[in-house]
Structure 1
Amino acid sequence: MTVVLVGMPGCGKSTAGRQLARHLGWRFVDSDTEIEHEIGGSIRAYFDEHGEESFREIEQRVIDRLTKPERLVLATGGGAVLRQPNREAMAQAGNQVVYLRATPEDLARRLRYDTQRPLLQGGDPLRKLRDLFRQRDPLYREVSSFVIDTGRTSVPTLVNLLSMQLEMAGLSRKA
C-alpha cells in the first residue's frame, strides 16, 4: 500500500508525511523533491524557464512511478491532481489517498514568507490561494479516501489523526 497525501501548497503534506512514514516504519517520498532530482534544479527555476505545462509532464511521470503499491508515504505537489492520469494513478487499488484540507486563509498565514512556490509569487497570494482552492478542492475530494482538516492542527495531532484514519481503513503498522 502507498499512502498518498494530497492538498493545497502549505497544508502539511511533507511535514506530516515524513512523521507518518516514521510512525509506520515506511519510506517517505516527496514528489516535488523527486522532480527536482530529475530536472537537476529547483521547480521554481524550471517553471520560469519551461512553463507549467512542461513541469506537469514531468510531474505525471514521477507520480506514475511513485504510486505503485509499496510501503510508502507519498507527499504530492499541490497541483498533481490537475491531470486525470495522476488522479487515476493515485487512486489505484492498494493505495489510500488522504486530502489534507486547509482554508486559503490558514495557508496564506503559513506561506506568507515562502518564496519557492511559483504559483504564489507576486500579486495577492490570498486571492491566488482562494482561486487555486476553488479549482482544486473538488479534485482533491474526488481522488481521496478521506479528508482531514489541518487548519491549526499541530503536526503530532495531525499524524495521530492520519494514523487513526488509516487504522480504521484497515491499515495497521505491520501491514
Structure 2
Amino acid sequence: MSILRSHSREPYHPARGSTRDICMHYGGLLRPSHTAASMIVALKPGCKPLILASISPYPCLSAYKPIPFGFNPPVSFKETSNKYNPENYWWVHRRLKSLLQSCYYSQVVREYINGVRGIEEEYLKPLILEYSEGKCVEDESYSILESMIEAENKLLTKASKAISGKYCWRHPFHTLILKKSDGKAGF
C-alpha cells in the first residue's frame, strides 16, 4: 500500500507534486488529473480474490478497505459523473480531501493520516495475515468493510471540521488551481 501512496519527493506537499507521483494530486497544466482510487488484488488458489481498494481519491489520504468479490457496496456510488453529488461516497470524500490537502502540512492532516493508518492496522492487518496464512476471508470482509467505512468517515468529518475556517499556510498558486478544479466539480 505504501507504494500506491508514494510521491516522488518527500516531504510531500500537493503544490510540489509531479507526474512521477504514483499518488497524484491535481496540479493544473502539469498535473491535469489525480489518482481517482487505487486497488490491490491478492490471489490464492481455492479462495476468492482479496481485493483492497481505497474507493476514494488520493490513496495517501485514504484507508484501503476489503472489497468482497461481486458485492453490493454499503455506500452509494449513484449518479457518478464529473459533478459533485452529495449522495455519492467518492464525491463526498473528494470534497473533504480537497480541503485537507489545502492544509497538507497541518497537525490536523498529520493526525488524520495517522488515524487512517490506525484504522488499517486495527481492521485490515489481521485480515491480510489470515489470508496470507491460507484462510479464505470473504465472509469477514463484509463486516470489516462496513466498520472501516464508518471509522474513516468519522475521522474525515472530524478532521474537516477541525481544518474548516482554520488558517494554515497555503501555497498561493496551488490554492488557485484547487479552487478552479473544485469549482468545475461543483463545490
Q: TM-score, normalised by structure 1?
A: 0.29
Larger radius of gyration: 2
> Which is bigger in relative contact order (C-alpha 8 A, separation at least 6)?
1
User: Of Structure 1 and Structure 2, which has the larger fraction of its residues in strand?
Assistant: 1
User: Of Structure 1 and Structure 2, which has the larger fraction of its residues in helix?
Assistant: 1
